[in-house]
Every structure is written in structure tokens, then in C-alpha cells.
Copies of this chain bind each other. A is one copy, B any other.
């Protein structure tokens, strides 16, 4: 009973094997179905929890669990360490996600969570935007042009017939390389830099995907967007970090991905409870009732919902099986006699049977020096 390891390289091979567009389309489709059928009677999604610290370096390590009864639980571990790029040549976010069989507890698969996170975040915006944006939306504005903006553009380019993409980033290098970085799927699109003001005024759909500092938001203000603009607030994922101006939020239909988290970490931090609309799954499940919001200013407050990771991981696992990718390793202890799982006897039997058939097993090895430092 082995565990499948899907490394970042396996994940990339899956994406290239099925095609990035095909992968994104399928994920948007599955996420839509998952929102349509979501019920707390079949699926449990606790609010994520984690360790937040300021020393020795500022960082965050959090876990995002999700379970579908009788099927699978997934738990994504996400490390967020903004000092990584400069001090360690590592990305800010490192992530792995495990899938567990809820009928046995077995760790079925462990995979890198980086591409999965970007894809599902993009796909969730596509689902939200397709329901809440005005009919005929053609201009997309991206505030923040980093890796998440690439995934946002990819997902929205699969959902909308985009005429123009306006981009803005405080970092000129990041802004300057965006067109090249997105050329894999977006070479047919007209992408051009803009001032924040122009971008906000001209866009039908706006994605904010910035790493604006805590207490330093919003990322634009004093400029009036189109009266039907839809915003996807992606970089809203930390207490004190906000991207959208309060006066705009207060006039908007605000739809969080997961209310509990959004109130703690998202744009909803700025709002009173009665100013917050229904969760995305409720809007998806009642499209007709929310038809009218298309004509209003709408905000999808995206903090990252574990169900999205769950759906994406199931998809990657299916594709890995079809493409025969990944490495199988035996990690968990499965004793010979499951009814009587005695580790000492088992390991002795195991050792004597497999490695030292006639010699006695040595249980003392005084040569090994233990380091006596505490933990």
C-alpha cells in the first residue's frame, strides 16, 4: 500500500501532457460542478489554521483541510515566507498537498502544491467572474503582474472573449516581462501596460493579485471604475492586508469564497457582517436569483478555499494515473498481522526474515553517539 509522490516535475509533465488550456478548462468545469453540488452534508471544509511568526524571519505555515465523506480528505500545507527570494533564492510560497483515504486513513498521494494553487485560484476567479461580470465584458485589468496574475489571465482568457488586457505592477521588471511570461497561452491577446487609473477606469473585469504590505492597501483609490465592473480580489489572504478601497466595497455586491476566512484575512475584514454577500457556492447554486448583480459592481473576495485544492488534487491524481506519472514509495507501517500490530515483534520478524535469517538481531549499539542537545 504505497504512497504516490507527484513532484513538481511530475506536475509540470501532467500540465504539458494534457495541455495547459485543456487542464484549465477541465478544472474550471470541475470547480463549477463542485460549487453546484457542495453541501455541508457531504463535504467538510474547516477554516484553515496555522502558525504565524515574526522571528527569526516573518512567515506563515498553514494547513488547509477538506474532506468528502466516504471518499477522500486532502490537507494542503502552505509556507509563506516573503524573505525567501532575496535571502535563500527560494520562492515565497512552498506547498505540498496530501490526499488521504477516509475509509482507511492511508496517505494515497503527496504532491507539490504550487501549480495546483495557481491553477485553482485562477479557475475560481473564472467561475466567479462568469456569473457576476456584465454580459459582453471584453477588457481585463490586472493589478499586480506576478505569477498569480498569469494564472488569472489564463483562466479568464478561457472564459471571456477578451479584446484587451491592461496590466500594472509597481515593479517595472515584473510588468515588463508579463507579455513574454504569458505568451504560452496568451500570444493572441492584446496586452499593454497602463496606469492604475486608466486600468481601473477602462476594465470590465479587474483582478488584484498584489503583495501589497499589511496596512499599505488599498492598491488603488480615487478613481471610478465602470458601474458594472467585476473585481477578483486575489491577494487578500492575510490579516491587515487589503487591496480594494472601502468605499467601493461598501457599494458592491461582495461574494467571499469562504466567509469565515474572508472576514479574517480577505477584503471582508473591512466590512460589517451585513455588508457581506453570500459565499460563491451559494451564488453558483442560485444563479437566477443573483442574475441582477451583473449590472452592479461586484467583488469576488478570494482567500483560497480548501475545496478548490481538493478538486484540483483529484484531477491531478486522475491525470497522473492516465499518464502513468509519479513515484510510488512505501512509507506507512503495515505490519504482517494487522489484528496484532506489534512494532517490536514485527520489526524483529521483518528484520530476521528479510535481512538476517540466521544471526540474532543486535538491539544495542553503543558506538552510535547521541547528540545531547535538547529540542
Docked complex: A319-375 residues within 8 A CB-CB of B: 319, 322-323, 327, 329-335, 338-345, 347-348, 350-351, 361-366, 368-371, 374-375
Closest chain B residue to A91 by CB distance? B341
Binds B, one of A82-90, A247-255, A256-264: A82-90
Cα-based distance from A331 to B12 in the complex (angstroms): 12
Cα-based distance from A365 to B84 in the complex (angstroms): 36
Bits for A288-329, please: 1 = Cβ < 8 Å to B, else 0: 000000000000000000000011001000110011000101
CB distance from A179 to the nearest CB of B (A): 11
Binds B, one of A100-108, A130-138, A265-273: A100-108
Give the interface size class of chain A: 35 or more
Q: How many identical chains are in the complex? A: 2
Asked if A53 lies at the interface with its beta carbon under 8 angstroms from chain B, I say yes
Asked if A110 lies at the interface with its beta carbon under 8 angstroms from chain B, I say yes
Q: Which residues of B contact A98 (CB under 8 A)?
A: 77, 96
Q: Which residues of B contact A154 (CB under 8 A)?
A: 344
Closest chain B residue to A18 by CB distance? B368
Bits for A1-21, please: 1 = Cβ < 8 Å to B, else 0: 100011111011001111111
CB distance from A138 to the nearest CB of B (A): 23
Binds B, one of A112-120, A202-210, A227-235: A112-120
Docked-complex contact B330 and A22, CB < 8 angstroms:
no
Cα-based distance from A192 to B255 in the complex (angstroms): 66
Interface of A is mostly: mixed
Binds B, one of A30-38, A156-164, A218-226, A238-246: A30-38
Asked if A147 lies at the interface with its beta carbon under 8 angstroms from chain B, I say yes
Interface residue ranges, A against B (CB under 8 Å): 1, 5-9, 11-12, 15-22, 26, 30, 33-34, 37, 44, 46, 49, 51, 53, 55-57, 59, 61, 63, 65, 67-71, 73, 75, 77-81, 84-86, 88-96, 98, 100, 102-107, 110-112, 114-115, 118, 146-147, 150-151, 154, 173-174, 177, 180-182, 184-185, 310-311, 314, 318-319, 322-323, 327, 329-335, 338-345, 347-348, 350-351, 361-366, 368-371, 374-375
